[in-house]
Structures are given as C-alpha cells and as structure tokens.
Chain A
Amino acid sequence: MKPRDFDLPDADVAWCPGCGNLSILRSLKATLAELEIQPENLVFVSGIGQAGKLPHYIKGNVFNGLHGRSLSPATAIKAANPDLIVIDVSGDGCMYGEGGNHFMHTIRRNPDITNLVHNNMVYGLTKGQASPTSQRDFNTPLQVDGVFLEPFNPLAVAIALDASFVARAFSGDRKQSIEIFKAAINHKGYALVDIFQPCVSFNKVNTRDWFREHTYYLEDDHDPQDRNLAFQRATETGEYPLGIFYQNPDKSTFEENLTVYRDEKTPLYQRKLDKDKLRALVESKR
C-alpha cells in the first residue's frame, strides 16, 4: 500500500500552514501503508481540538466525539468489535486536561488501542491558552502572570500506572515517528505516543527549533522493559528523551478479559438473541 491510499482528496484541511499536525498526518499515512492496514478495518476516534480534526483528513472510519472523551468510545469500539484497529487521536488539552480521568482509567483497562496525543503545550483551537503540558512562565491572555503550575507529565503518569506501551515522538522527525507509530500500533494493548509538535500560531516559545534543541533519542541499549528506568527517563526535563520508554508485553487486554470472547470471537453486532435462554430466565422466576 501507498500513503496516498489514505488520502481524502476533498478534505478541507483547517490547520495553519506549517502546523506540526501536517507532519503527523503524513507520518501516519506512511505508517498505515507500511502496515498494510485496510481503511475499512480502521477506526479513528478523536475528541475536540486541532488534533481531533485529523481523522477527517485521512481515509478510515471515524468517531469524532466530545472534548476529552475519545478514549471511552475507543475502548468500547474495540470491545464491541475486537477485529477493528482503533487509533485515538487527541491533543494535550483533550487527553490530559478534560479527559484526564479517562486517560488514567483507560491505562488501567488496557484496551488494544493506539493513543496518539499531539502535544504542542498550548490550546490552539481556542487560540492560545495554557494547556496541562505548558511549561512554567508561559504567558497567555488567561495566564497573565505566566503559568505557575507544574506541567503534567503524561509519560511518567502512564509508566506509574504500568501502561503497556509508552513512547514520545517529535513531529519534525518523520522517519523516527513512523517507526514509533508502527511499534505502537503493532503493540498488543494500550499504546501511548505523546508527540511533541509545534503550534506555529500560538506557541512562540516551544517552536520547531526549540523542540529540536531540547530533545534527543533514548540510547539504542535502553531497555524498555525496565519500568523503573523508564520512569526515571520520563522525569527528565530540560532535555527531553524521545523514543520508546516502556513496553510491557505481558499484560492482557481489556477485550481479552471479557468473558463474551472467551469461547467465541464474533463481534457483538453479529450475535443474535437466544430466545430459549430468555425464556429459561423468565421461567426461573416462577
């Protein structure tokens, strides 16, 4: 398959020229093509924000729901039909702000879905307020004294909760991003990829160059199965590591744990009411 197999020629792309999302979109199309994933088996789930629009610019099924809520439908879509490949695309506000509770509990559930979080450390769609990942002293029209809250550290939180796959990518490096995306999609279980991405309109601090200068890749000999080490690396600030921090291949997934699939893998929509069982249940009340 070719990346263009995922093109939607009529898409009215609403991102700013030079937006980091454009690179992510290109990397994602290349990833899906390399993995030979058929668009009809693919479901993109998103919330609200600029990242949430990505599913409208790529070929696949789409559930573009509410701000911060995307992980809930994504989990349920996978649970209702485990044959589908589910990719959740969200931003830092959607995932770590409004959706923080769902982020935490989805990690606990460990559905086999991929969670791509476009992290530009600012609210772009609402034009430039602080996000949970904004750096200290970031000035905005709402944070007039500068941000004085500790930035949310999604990787450290995810590793603390034993998320089964935790990685960070940088949108400006498409080659490496594709490798990380492939690993995340191929991983069985919940896979978080936090993607550093510049917002060219509203974040004049954390620019493309800033990300380039403040990131580096984890060493080749980094052992992603060493959870303590992964946690330690995730707490590094100043210079931010990129790559696959942590991977736990031994965890069972949410849908694997559902008894409904223990003997039979049929998706829920294909199952029919067993009237005899219903009759027996009713009769048991006599």
Chain B
Amino acid sequence: MPVFLKEEDISIVLCGEAGQGIQTVEVILAQAVKQTGYHIFSTKEYMSRVRGGENSTQIRISSDRVASYVDRIDILLALSYGAIDHLKDRISPNTVIIGDPEHIKSARESENISSGLNANFIEIPLMQTAEDIGGIIYANVIVAGALSCLLDIPKEIFDGLISDMFARKGPEILQNDLKAGEAGYTLGKGLMESEENQVRLSLEAHSTVRDELLLSGTDAAGMGCLAGGCRFMSSYPMTPSTPLQAFLAGNAHDFELVYEQAEDEIAAINMALGASYAGARSMVATSGSGFALMEEGVGLAGMTETPVVIYLGQRPGPAVGLPTRTSQEDLNLALYSGTGEFPRIIFAPGKLEDAFTLSQQAFNLADKYQIPVFILSDQYFADCYYNIPSLPLEEVGNEDYLIKTTPDYRRYLITHDGVTPRGIPGYGEGMVIVDSDEHDEEGHITENLEIRTHMVDKRLKKMDHIRKDALAPELVGSDDYANLVLGWGSTYWPIREALENINKKGLNPDSRKTSFLHLKQVYPLHSSVTDYLEKAEDVIILENNAQGQMANIIQLETGLEIQEKFLKYNGMPFSVEEVEKRLLQFMGIEDSGPDGHDKPSGEVL
C-alpha cells in the first residue's frame, strides 16, 4: 500500500547544514525539473553562518505555474541531525520525511521533536552510499538523483546537468558525481517500487515549459539594470544585495561596465555619483545599514541633481538585524533618506517581469529627472527562482538625455519643469559645475536666499511630472470588488495564490467580490490608487514589517486610512497558507480547509 501519492503540486524541502551542498541540489533540480516540463519555484531560508546551522530550500514542482512560498512540506529530505527539529512546525501528518537512518533515528529519539510529530519516515542509506562512492560530499548529488527519479526526470537530462556542473572539477570528480546520481536514481526507484514505503509522484509535464526562462529575482533585476544601460556599479558586499553585485560584476566584461568594490558604502555612493556626473549610468546595491551609510550621498544626488539608481535589498533591522532573513522594513528609510527636500522615485518589484522592467526604467527615469531612483527588493525576492515564458525585451528603449554643452552652458538653468538639460564634462565646450552647497544657475556656491528659494522650487517642480509618470498599480481580479487586498513588492505571488486558492475552493461567494491591488511603484503613488481605495468597502494590507509603513504612506499621500493590516516581521516571507487564512477572516469566511497547520509568526492585527 502506498504511503504517499501526490499529484499536481509538490513541495519538497531539503534541509541540512551550510556547506552540505544543498544549493547544488537546488540548482540541479530546478534545471532538471524545468527541462522535463514541470513548473518550478524555489526559495531558500538560511542562517548567517558559513558552515553548520540549519538551512533549507523549498522546491515546488507543479503542473501549473507556481511562484510563492508555502509552509506545506510534502517531502522533507533531511540531510543533517538538526533538520527535522528545524522544520518541525511545518511538518504535518502528510509529510514524508526521507533521510539517512542515523538522522531519522536521532529525530525519533528526541522527545522534543517526536512528541506531537506525526509524519511518515522513510530511511535511505544516504551516507553509506556516499561513502562507498568516495565521501559524504556526494550525498547531495545522491539526493538530487533520488528526487529526480521520483519526479520521473529523464536520466539523460539529469546526467547532462551533472556534467555541465562538475566537468570543470576534473574527470574523477565528474565520474563520482555521475555515479552518485546513478545511486540516487536506484534509491529513488526503490522507493517507487517499495511495498511498505512507496512514494509516487505524478505530475503533468508541458513541453512549453522546457523553453521558458528560469530566473531569480536577482537575475531579473540584474538584466533590467543591463537593459537600462548601467555602466558603473560601486558597492560594498552585503546580504542580500551581494548576488546583484555578483551578477553585474560577472557580466561587466560583456556589457562594458565597471564594477568596483568600494572600501565602504559611503565611498560606493560617492563613486556612483562621480561616474554619473561624468555621464555613465550608475548604481549602487546595498541593504539596510549599508544604505544608512549612503544617506548623505542620497542628499548629494538630490542637491547636485545627479542621477543614480539605488538597489536596496531589504532584510530585518534595526542595525544588523537578521542578516539572512527577509523584510519590507526599509521603505521609510528609502523615502526619507538624505537631508533636505528633493524628489525621488521608489519601485518595488513583485514578480520577475516587473523586476526587469522597473530596473530598466529606474535608469531611464533617474536620467530623465536627474534624481535618485530606488529599487526596493528583499531577501525573499532576490533569492527565489521560478520559470516564466519571457522578459519584455522588445519594450526596452533607453532615451538619451545628455546634451552637448555650449560655452554659455548653465547646469542649473531654471526651466519651466525644473529639469535642466544635462551636460557632462568633456562633451561640448561648456563647464559643468555641480555643488553640494546651494548654488546658482551656473552651479557656483551661493548664499543668496532668493536664489535658494528658486532652486528648491526648481528641484521640487520635477515632482509634478514624476507623479504623472508614475506607474499604475496592478489590479488582480474583478473591477467590481467590495473587498480590496493591498500588497507591495515581493508579497505579490503569495497574496495572489492565496486568493486564487480561495476562489478555486469556492469559498468566496460572489456577493462581495475580493480583488488584489499590487503597488510596484510605492512612491510617488499613481493617482489611481486613491480611486481604487475609495471604491472598496473594506481594505486590508499585507506587509513584511511591524508598523505598516506602506499603509502610512498611503494615508499620507491619499488621506485614506487602512484599517486592517496583516503584518509579519519575524524574518520569513508570507506563506500562501497564512495569507489564505487571514484573507478568509478578512472576507468573513471561516476556514474549514485541511491546510490549517500554520503557526503564529509574529503577526499582529
């Protein structure tokens, strides 16, 4: 009798210590799954340490599109002693836990874990098999092989990926890895055919998926930066912005850009502004406290009207906070950073396509208005992967806003819209003079208070046009709604999937329709946001922070107060299940579904 049979949407979680090669499994499986024709989503959560700790990667494999984190674990691959304990809150009676006998034994013997833990345990001789091949380092590839077998992934696809990945490590290691994969397939086959511990997975493959893109949030943003003509990036490594730095540094040769690891974030943003002053589209990437160091430079961008793109990968603060976790806590920091008053734009992508387009537009708008433009990402968004059909490459169009200067060029000539045509040094005969002090139209320092007023007005006047250029929010669902769910940035897919689940289960009666409004430009807001909010009878907002920062900005910008807030700030992203449960409450519907094993996670009203 089969212990486990699962169709359509499978959540596999791999858990082990840092250094055990879980990311390798993630990469191999994600590719193998996509090449087989299944939809894939993966996300990881990890501790801030180089070795040890407990890290897990969730891989969702589905017959339909998936792009969000779920609490549910269908199969847990436990690769360390602590794995089961680490995930015990997410293990349900339906979870199959596969692991080495030793790891499973230790979990079973632990009072702390096994009491109340009702799951199915399947032992496979993982460590012994790895030792036989050449060492426990091969355990990860064995796991990848076993899962690939269960998922019916053709062996040639698997072997091809192993070869791509390990060929550069030499023939001996490659041979061992191929052997490890083979051993994994054998173990997997054993599980499929086992009488007592049978595991069967059944998914529908789609040939179209094979040709789709498999990207992370970082990849999509990085490609957007390249599309936007980024030529210069200076930054200081900081999780979770480092992957974007690595992406652009890795593409620097092909795309003719300069990446410089600065001595600190202060140097980073000042370098970016220098390069931008000399005409190169420039950016920095950082996170919370690194960005705090850049704030003075943000003011300099504002005063000198120098374009710069700031990618801010959010993680929990204050100070160093939880370095490897996720949050949406730095919206206020971005909005209010820098001394004095000047315009800015803040984007927050929620899906890969948006990350690409918004990043590209960030460069264009920074140049158009000569202002800092922010891309607010976060750990969850930066690190997750999923497949999409394509990126809107054809829509990429970069305007060139630089002019050749004449001898009488004035860098801060006051114009009707506040935007002075932008010259750069060495292009034309004019002098390009910028100053962090208040300055006259030529750019020279001044203490003339009348000029001061004119210059403040000039800078702020741009805001009228920036508002007109604001990107409209995306409404998911019917125009004819009574309930409105609000989200911004990376919460897009968890909210969307939760609502779709509610609809699919038929829990949502038509009388009070519920739609979802996603803000991808969080500042300044598009004028339609007010209309959308006014039309709703009830509104709830979901944010990965403790104070409802977006709700407060909405109130500030529209005068409308959002009463209901679902806030999560324990460092983890929203799961589909918890969003579903909370939205059912919001909609006044009792949750009678079977997936009600989510735990409180720091949310308040």
Contact = CB atoms under 8 A, between A and B. Distances in A.
B24 interface: no
Given A73-B271, A73-B273, A76-B278, A260 B258 contact: yes
Given A259-B252, A282-B213, A74 B231 contact: no
A39 B231 contact: no
A274 B275 CA distance: 20
A65 B427 CA distance: 21
A193 to B, nearest CB: 21
A143 to B, nearest CB: 26
A278 B437 contact: no
A81 B271 contact: no
Interface in B275-289: 275, 277-280, 282
Interface in B357-371: none
Nearest to B257: A260
Interface residues of B, number: 66
Contact of B274 (A45, A271, A279): A45
Nearest to B433: A62
A64 B443 CA distance: 10
A61 B435 contact: no
Contacts of A33: none
B431 interface: yes
Interface residues on A, range: 35 or more
B255 interface: yes
B255 A274 contact: yes
A268 B445 contact: no
Given A61-B425, A73-B277, A285 B433 contact: no
Contacts, number: 193
Contact of B226 (A84, A105, A281): A281
A269 B402 contact: yes
A75 interface: yes
A244 to B, nearest CB: 27
B270 A285 contact: no
B275 A64 contact: no
B436 interface: yes
B408 interface: no
B275 A79 contact: yes
Given A53-B445, A101-B263, A269-B424, A77 B436 contact: no
B214 interface: yes
A43 B432 CA distance: 9
Which 9 residue pairs spanning A and B have beta carbons closest together?
A: A73-B274, A269-B279, A76-B274, A72-B270, A61-B425, A80-B278, A268-B280, A105-B263, A76-B271
Given A62-B432, A278-B227, A282-B213, 7 more contacts: A40-B426, A59-B431, A63-B274, A72-B262, A76-B272, A271-B256, A274-B255
16 contacts: A40-B431, A45-B274, A64-B436, A65-B300, A65-B436, A73-B274, A76-B232, A76-B271, A76-B272, A80-B280, A83-B426, A260-B256, A268-B275, A268-B278, A285-B219, A286-B212
